[in-house]
Amino acid sequence: MAFNQHRTIDDKSFEYVFVQNQGIPLKTYEKGVLRCNVFLPKDAAPFGDKVYPVIATYGSYGKDVPYESFYKKSWSQLNPQMKSAHSAWETPDPRYRTGEGYIVVRVDERGSGQSPGLLDTMSRGTSEAFYNVVEWRPKGLAAVIPIRRASSKTNCDYCEEFGWENGVQPNQYGMPGRAARKWVANRRNQMADTTGHKYMDEEYYRSRGFDLASIEVPLLSVANWGDILLHLRGNAIL
């Protein structure tokens, strides 16, 4: 498979270098590719000689979906410093972060946006595909900082329809003109799956949970009161 046949590089139009549709080959049990956008300071290697730390995100809302069109009300409330041509929902703003000395990597998770495969949010297969982006326990890992996030599928907002109906399902991977009825076979319905499995000891939930005892580095759990009924539960239980 040619992983970068759709990659483009723009080092002229913005205050940062914009690499779109960089391919990441899957090396785990499922073969395929994840696609991401990479935003770099202009003097970052290989365009310059500087090396910077990386902030990587992996999600199903769409690396190319503009924040303003995804949630206009929230966009209107943002600090102008956090707005740019490539702002996207629940991801670091590339103009601000590259200006602060970071590289931003924004990955479409398996089955969403520009990444082909089965759309099955928070499943083991989807989580393990992220391993190919960051590696498990990478050399030099000093700490982890979960920000407004769930520690299992039972303590987050997966019964809440806004994200699924407005963000995840419409962003399923599919070629232009592909009939919607053919998409169904390549995704799991998050809402139906969650309501159809009632007990926490079912394999469905066990396969989507995380062994927090396996975390060996210092952990800073970050949350806020703004979404008390959503992500805060995961951080509080964590």
Residue 237 lies in a domain: no
Residue 225 lies in a domain: no
Residue 181, pLDDT score: 47
Residue 145 lies in a domain: no
Range with top average pLDDT, 87-91, 127-131, 188-192, 228-232? 87-91
Q: Is 237 left (phi over 0), alpha (psi -120 to 50) or beta?
A: alpha
Residue 168, pLDDT score: 77
Residue 76 lies in a domain: yes
Residue 237, pLDDT above cutoff 70 = no
Burial class (CB in 10 A: 0-12, 13-18, 19+), 12: exposed
Residues of the domain holding 161? 8-136+153-209
Residue 186, pLDDT score: 66
Residue 185, pLDDT score: 59
Residue 77 lies in a domain: yes
Residue 111 lies in a domain: yes
Band of the pLDDT at 170, cuts 50, 70, 90? confident
Percentage of the chain lying above the pLDDT 90 cut? 39
Digit-coded pLDDT (tens) for 142-161: 888 887 766 666 655 555 56
Residue 143 lies in a domain: no
Average pLDDT of the segment spanning 60-68: 93
User: Could you say which DSSP state residue 14 is in?
Assistant: S
Residue 226 lies in a domain: no
Average pLDDT of the segment spanning 89-105: 96
Dihedral sign, Cα of residue 206, residue 207, residue 209, residue 211: positive
C-alpha 148: how far from its chain's center? Answer: 13
The mean pLDDT value of the chain amounts to 83
Digit-coded pLDDT (tens) for 7-18: 999 999 999 999
Residue 83, pLDDT above cutoff 70 = yes
Number of domains in the chain: 1
- Cβ atoms of residues 69 and 171 within 8 Å: no
Nearest of 141, 114, 109, 139 to residue 126 by alpha carbon: 109
